[in-house]
Structure 1
């Protein structure tokens, strides 16, 4: 329970599972474990109760870069909650392998790596550079589900 201890020491909490908006059905698992890997479906920022966290809209228009960085950090916590539910213990994550970050961008916003740093910085802070560093993409999108500013998926090695 070392990772959860670090989360608590940072004054952070993992949110409840996502409360889907009315009329929305998600027909996939949040985490798919196969062998020694866990594939994590796209997650967005959540509040503690599992509802979607604002602000909503395009980064570079309605959402600032700083707000989007925080949304990416909240997305990391949402993903960690799903991993804990699927694995039973976050200490089973041996290494972060790949992260794919998508940002709901306004035309001309090109600082997508700075936004996804909100996710990566927290993961490296929790797991350290040897286990937390990961290959990564950070791309702008015309739109994201529910008008969230950030969606992130990942792949981790597990023990």
Structure 2
């Protein structure tokens, strides 16, 4: 078994199937675009184990607590890893997490976006370690996100 897959299993985590889109919705872009040795990962939201949107939905700081936002970011990370695995065939091919852009569906006055996006960063660091897992990152609050998801994350990785 591959190293990253073994770590996921050791943590009791599993990758979700491809995201199920709402009826009639078509995305005119790939979830992962491979360019040379870099994978550009389109924005993902929290994915449930059946490929649907993970619940709860809503704004962090109103419908969701920081802890629920953190878990949503972690679930988003699992969805991103699943997309990467489908694109690369093996998560061990990732040599470096380069950049992460985390967006939080934030209630007015909420300013703890970094604590929410840590759910993603902590997962990646647990799996890839401080060398390959370290990444440049932004964590911003937005007034709205698609389908009222609490978190959306995009990223770039280098791979071999």
Give the TM-score of the pair, scaled to structure 1. Answer: 0.99
**RMSD over aligned Cα, in angstroms?**
0.5
How many equivalent residue pairs? 159
Which whole-Å CA distance do the structure 2 matches of 1:131 and 1:147 have between them? Answer: 32
Match of 1:104?
105
Number of the residue aligned with 1:140: 141
Question: What is the distance in 2 between the residues matched to 1:69 and 1:33?
Answer: 28
Distance 1:61 1:25 in 2: 30
Q: 1:9: how far off?
A: 0.6
Q: Please state how far the C-alpha of 1:48 moved relative to its aligned partner.
A: 1.0
Structure 1 partner of 2:8? 7
- Counterpart check, 1:54 vs 2:55: yes
CA distance in 2: counterparts of 1:22 and 1:137, whole angstroms: 32
**Unmatched 5+ residue regions in structure 2?**
none
1:9-60 Cα shifts (integer Å, max 9, x gaps): 1000000000001121111100000001000000010111100001101110
Provide the rounded CA distance (Å) in 1 between the counterparts of 2:44 and 2:94.
Answer: 17
State the alpha-carbon separation in 2 of the partners of residues 55 and 23 from structure 1. 23
Query: Stretches of 4+ moved more than 4 A in 1?
Result: none
State the distance in 2 between where 1:69 and 1:23 align.
30
With normalisation by structure 2, the TM-score equals: 0.98
How far, CA to CA, are the matches of 2:111 and 2:48 in structure 1?
27
Unaligned segments of structure 1, at least 5 residues? none
Secondary structure of 2:141's aligned partner: strand
